[in-house]
Amino acid sequence: MKNKGILFIVVGFLCFSFVIFYKGLNNPNTYIPETNKKKNIPIFNARDFYSGNYITSDKIFEENIFYIVNIWASWCVPCRVEHPLLMQLSKNQSVKLIGLNYRDNFNNAKNFIDEFGNPYSRILIDKDGTLGIEFGAYGVPETFLIDKNKNIIKKFVGPINQEIVNEIKLIIK
């Protein structure tokens, strides 16, 4: 009777461990960002790309409209792919695009904008990548949609596509 009890406990424990490990197999062991979590925009002070002057986040997001923050760099190939779509979005009056030039060389970034066009109402310099961290970014390109209450309501990791553009247009309408 006593041995049966021990056997029952051991088998029960093994079954429990099996379920835990089996469930664990289905969990990815890489980072998956939360793309729909509502967050406040960070408070920061950044350098303007063209004037070189420092500007606060309050001043950047002062209008009562939607904003899109796009992290880009001239060395980033997917950024070239998404650029025409950003140009398309910039024509929309109810949204302003803010570019975050991530770990880039000024001349290369300027050539990029001159060649492909400037969809941004303002470009900020993120020389050391810390501004991207403030937004919760971990790569480039990344795009954040900010609502009128100054909350980040959507985050798109990687280059945006037509489907995402349509989704953004639907939200800001």
Q: Omega of the bond prior to 42 within 30 degrees of 0, cis?
A: no
Show the site string, 2-21: x = touches another protein by CB under 8 A, - = not. Answer: ------------------x-
| Phi, psi (rounded to 5 degrees) for 129 | 80, 0
Nearer to another protein, 61 or 75 (CB): 75
Among 57, 85, 100, 132, binds another protein (CB under 8 A): 132
- Would you call the peptide bond into 33 cis, given omega within 30 degrees of 0 as the criterion? no
Nearest Cα residue to 127 out of 52, 34, 66, 58:
52
Choices 31-39, 46-54, 92-100, 117-125 (CB under 8 A): range interacting with another protein: 31-39
The Cβ of residue 162 has, within 10 Å, a number of other Cβ atoms equal to: 10
Of 94, 105, 130, 151, the residue at the interface with another protein (CB under 8 A) is: 130
Binding site for another protein (CB under 8 A): 20, 31-34, 39, 103, 128-130, 132-136, 138-139
